[in-house]
Structures are given as C-alpha cells and as structure tokens.
Chains A and B, each alone.
Chain A
C-alpha cells in the first residue's frame, strides 16, 4: 500500500513537472509572439517615418528576441521544426531590414536611379512584411502547440491522479477482501460457533482453522468444547444413573410404605378389638401394653405418611402460579383451631404475601411450618403465631414465627435433615421429617429456608422463593 502511494506520488510529481515545463514553454512562446508583434510595429514605424529611434528600438527588440531564442527550450518535433523555421526567417528578416536601413540612410539617388531604388525599397518592404508575417504566424502556431502541450500535460496529470486513486481503491478493495477472508470470516464463524455452544448446542464443530492465530484459537476452542462435551456426557450419564436409582428407591419406598400400612392397620385394629372385646379379661398392665402397641403402630403410620409425602414432594411436577401465602396460612390456622378446640392461639397473618409457586407443594411446606409452630407453642400460655414477609439482602424473606419452646441455635442446621429432632417425642410428638419436606419444597422452588430461635423464647422460620438471577433455569431432571 505504502509502495503504491509512493509510486503514485512520484508519477504525480513527474507529471506535474511536465505540466510546469509545458507552462514555461507556453510563456516563452507568448513572450516571443509579443516581441515579434512589437518588432513588426517598429519596422513599419521606421518604414513610415524613418526615425533613428525606431531603428534603435528594432535593434533592441531584435537582440532581445535572439536572446530568448538562445534561452528557450521547446520540446516536440513540430515545435522544433517551427523554431528552426523561425530562426532562419529571423536571420533573413534582419538581413533585409539591414538592407532597408542602408537604403534609407544612403544618398538620395539621381534621377535615372530613382525608379529602380524606389522599386528596390518597395520590394524589400514587401519581403520584410512577408517574412515578419510568416514569423508571426509561426510563433502563434508555436503558442498554440505549447498550449496544447500544456493542456495535454494537465490532462495527463488528471489521468495519473485518477489512476492513482483507482489503484488505491483497488488495493483497499483487495486488502479489505483479504481481511474479510482471512480474519473477519473466520472470526464470525468462530463467534457463531461459540454462540451455538453458549446456546447449549454442544455438538457444534469449530472446524480445522488456518495456520494463523485465529486458526490456533479456533482449534483451542474446539478442544475446549470437546473437553466440556466429554465432561457433560459423563455428568449426564451419572445423572441418568442417579435418576434411575432414585426412581427405584421411590418405587421401593412407595411399595414398602403401602405394604407396611396394611399390617400396621391390622395391628392397630386387632389391638383395638382386643381392648374392646376382651378388655374386661385383661388387667391394667395388659391394657396398657395394648394401648402402647396401638400408639406405636399409629406413630409408624404417621412416619410412613410423612415419608410418602417427602417422596411425593420430590417427584411431583412443578406448576408455578400466583399463590397468596396469607390466605393459605389463614386456612391452615382455621383447620388447626377446629382440630384442637381447647387451645387459644393468637394469630397475626399479614396480607399481600403473593408468591409465584406450585400451589400444592407450597401448601405442604406451609402446613408443616404452621404445624410446628402450633405444636411447639402448645405449652406456652399466651401463644402467638405470626406469618409475614421482610426485606432481607434485597430479597423477600417470608417467615413463620412463634413464641413457643424454641431451640438451641447450635443445632439449627441439623433440623432440616430427615428424622432429626431437638425435642423429646414425650414433650412434643413428631417424626422429624416435616422440615426436611419444607426444605425439599423450597429447593424445588429455587428458594432457601433457615431458622432463628432461642431456647424457650420461640422460633422463626424464614424462606425465600425463586432466585431472580436464575429465574429461567430449571433442573434438567428430577434428581437435579
């Protein structure tokens, strides 16, 4: 590109020099024309009035013209031919002028010679006229030629400049094309492939790429994607294995729970029948044993129900919709009150607690939290249960708070594991599965749950629903 600009610049420069030279020649030619016109003028003045002054002027102009001829450099064969003709014409004209001057200055001829010398002078003047006229025509032609030359040079300059521009345009075109072919197209292809990969299309091929940096980058990206593809395939495989395992496990626990239910019911039923039909024949200790059998089998029934519920929470499909937690809480509270008419609990449930969640699942979670609050305030005289929301770290944390038994915060993170209980079944009955279910529900809603409590001063359970920055994300399969 630089070289081309250099070549163009030098071409323009040399053509410009030609233009300048042609201009100089034209100037010289018009100078000559002016002088020759002046010369003709003084020649006729001299012929007419025969003054020494005109003669002196003729000689001066003539000398100057000779000097100009000596200094001028006209180019081109036509110009040189004219210059040659002008030179000889000038010599001849000077010669005849000298003869004329001599004739004028000579003695007045006698009568006999008067006619011939008058004729002679007239002939000289005619010859001089012809020569000067032809010289003038020649010099005008020279002016025309140098003008043409100058115009041609100017036109050449224009052509050179335009060709230069065209050349630069062509080179630019070529370079653009090369950049387009070697850089932009591969980069665009790379970008497209990367976007495909980003969109989750892991099978996208990056291609072999060229031998340059972009080619290297393409190959590296290809290798990286390949590695990712392999890792993903492994994860996928283990996920599938896990899912299969999970399904097995659930099927197993479901059938076990179902299968266990029937013998439990018979145990409870027969124990009841024994108490009712043969109670009179049993002593108190025997009756007590039967009652214990019944309690234990009922507890086991609860346990099985809870386990079934847990597995259901895990399996069922998520159908998010707007849910008013406050309304839901009021419903649960009413049911709790009807079931235990003896208890007096002070409820504080906020309005406008609408969340986007799966109605059935979130109901299970709320049920468990409110069950707990109800249960662990059973020994509190002025029992109060609050349901509400508070802003925390820019997120909306919903809570269920009570002023019941509370617990030691040291064990706070254990609560959410299944079968983990901080209280004796004697004090507060339960299976230890409720909070595990709550956690599972909120996990499925991309949310979190945590507790704040103190021994004897009540407990508050917070939860969030959904993760704003990953709203679109969904677990690929049930185990995820």
Chain B
C-alpha cells in the first residue's frame, strides 16, 4: 500500500545510483588508461667498451645509478681511453657494444665494417679545440697554415681540424698532421714536437693548462657538431632487440636524471672519471645529452665521408649510404619521437 508512494523516489534513487556507477566506471577506465605496464624482468647480459670520457656520461650515470640493473640488464663495462679504441675492442670481439664519436664510426663503416648506431647520446658544437703555441707565431686561425699539428688519426680531433680549416677558407692540406695518441698530446705540445694540437675535452684543457700563457685556443661552433654514439655490430643489434631496448631505456632514464639534477650528474660523472669538477664545468655546459637518431646525423656522416676520402683514410669512391648503419628499430620501439630520421 505505502510501497506505491515510495516507488517514484525509489526509482530516482535507482537512476541516480546507476548514473554514479556509470560515472565511476568511466573515470576508473580513464585513470587506468594513464597507468603503464611495468617492464618484464628477464635478465640479459651485455658488455660495452666505454671510453673514460665525459662524452659517454649517460652510460656512466646509468651504470652508477643502477638503471641497467633496474631494466633487467647486466652490463659489463670494458673501460678504454677514447672512442676509436672502444670501436677496436668491439671489432676484436672483446665487447658487444662500444661508444665513440661518430668520426671513427664513419671511418669503420667506410672500411666495410658492418656496424650500426643504436643511438646518439651526446651532441656538442664546442667540444673540440685547437690549442696552439704563441711562441710559434700563432695568434689567428690563418697562422695555423703550414704548421705541425698534433691529432689522433681518425678521430673527431682530426676531422675538426679539417672543418676548421675549411671554415676559415684555408686549404686543409697546408697543415702537417702528426698522429699522436690522446695520452701524449699535451706532452708533445709542451715539448714543442708540434706547434698546435686539435683534440677533445678534457685533453684540450690539459694541453692549455700545460702551456699556460703560451697557449692560444680556437673553437668553432659553426664548423662541426660532434656526436657520441652507441655502436654495435648490425647483426648483433638485430639479434638482441630486448637487450638493446633495455639499454636505451636506461640511457633515457639517465638523460632524465641529468636534466632534472644537472649538478648531481656533473659531480657523479666527474667523480667516476676522476676529473676535477671545476675543470669539467665549462665544456659540460655545451654538452647536450639527448638519446636520439636524427636525419641530420646522416648529413654529418656524409660530410665526414668526403673528408675521409680527401684525407686518404679510405679509397676514393661514392659516398656510402649510412642509413642502413642507423639501427632505428630499438629506439623507435622505446621512444619513437626521438627518431627523426626521414622514413
């Protein structure tokens, strides 16, 4: 009897609760859309030939902060002095991967090595420096013409010198190049075995401070932007997509760490490489640590191919196609927007 009177509001209550439930489900669904799944934790092993240089800072940070382990990757680091040496380790089969500047990579590719870049981890327009002795009559770029200049053959230091000469409309052949290992560059300049050196940081800074007031330095941001890349054998990269993705995720995490905690990252890298923080600070500012693969990398590599042929590093011939030597798949899978190579 009274049920009849209550039925209308009861219906309203029903409709309202129905609405509330629908809304709750919808909101829950939306919220769920924001959550991402955790990565699977199957342990994989990789070894990497790693230069004890700040250029490979992202790898050092990721290793120090345990990012590789977090991704389920057991990374064995084989330390080397510089990138060219790292690639040699890779080619000797002593490491699965290597990091190096893109110059030695381009040379190896032109020599026919089946290598590929998994990602670039750094770009810097001011890394390379020409340090010269004033007492050899050098005060302007033009004065470098005809001088003995120390370089490490087949490295970014040599390529920078070439680009620097072109930038200043000097014939590159006019310099006499002296091949020196990175560890002897500062010493040789101080000794006077060479009039100038072209090298990367922190070797350049060591040379500068060795010469003191006798030093004159040249940089040129509009001639060459150096890269630091993670390299592996093409076959290896294709055969281990899981491990490479884990590696890239860890590097991206290190990049994020460097972006949000720059000072901490600097101290961490300086401590690990046993370089004075204050010494590192000036060139560290110019380091742009970004994990990516860009269309412009192809232009840089092609430029270097021209240089390599002109310098006689490789026989003259057509500029090779570097595109197959960029391993895009892994980074596309992990962070597609970081691949700007035209596809």
Residues of A bordering B, CB below 8 Å: 92, 95-96, 113, 115-117, 119-120, 123, 126-127, 129-131, 133-134, 136-137, 140-141, 144, 155, 158-159, 162-163, 165-166, 168-170, 172-173, 176-177, 179-180, 184-185, 187-189, 191-192, 195
Contacts and interface: CB of A to CB of B under 8 A. Distances in A.
Interface of B: 1-2, 5-6, 9-10, 12-13, 16-17, 19-20, 23-24, 26-27, 30, 163, 166-167, 169-171, 221-223, 225, 294-296, 299-300, 302-303, 337, 340
A162 B23 contact: yes
Interface of B, secondary structure class, is helix
B106 to A, nearest CB: 14
Contact of A192 (B2, B13, B166, B302): B2
For A116, A163, A179, the residue with the greatest tally of chain B CB atoms inside 10 Å of its CB is: A116
12 contacts: A95-B222, A115-B171, A123-B166, A130-B225, A130-B300, A134-B296, A158-B30, A159-B30, A170-B20, A176-B12, A176-B13, A191-B5
A177 B19 CA distance: 15
A126 B16 contact: no
Contact of A130 (B2, B13, B26, B296): B296
B294 A133 contact: yes
B295 A137 contact: yes
Contact of B27 (A115, A162, A177): A162
Given A141-B337, A184-B6, A191-B1, A169 B19 contact: yes
Which 6 interchain pairs have the tightest Cβ spacing? A166-B23, A137-B340, A188-B2, A169-B19, A169-B20, A130-B296
Contacts of B340: 133, 136-137, 140-141
B19 to A, nearest CB: 4
A435 to B, nearest CB: 48
B304 to A, nearest CB: 10
A180 B337 contact: no
B5 A169 contact: no
Nearest to A189: B2
A128 B271 CA distance: 38
B20 A166 contact: yes
A166 B31 CA distance: 15
Nearest to A103: B169
A117 B171 CA distance: 9
B23 A184 contact: no
Given A163-B23, A165-B19, A92 B5 contact: no
Contacts of B5: 184, 187-188, 191
Nearest to B297: A130
A272 to B, nearest CB: 73
Contact of B303 (A95, A126, A131, A180): A126
Contacts of A136: 340
A184 B300 contact: no
Contacts of B225: 130
A188 B20 contact: no
B167 A123 contact: yes
A180 B9 contact: yes
B27 A173 contact: no
A122 to B, nearest CB: 8
B258 to A, nearest CB: 13
Nearest to A129: B299
Contacts of A140: 340
A184 B7 CA distance: 10
Contacts of A96: 222
Contacts of A127: 222-223
B1 to A, nearest CB: 6
Nearest to A170: B20
Contacts of A130: 225, 296, 299-300
A151 to B, nearest CB: 11
Contacts of B222: 92, 95-96, 127
Nearest to A133: B296
B33 to A, nearest CB: 8
A113 B169 CA distance: 8
For B1, B171, B294, B299, the residue with the greatest tally of chain A CB atoms inside 10 Å of its CB is: B299
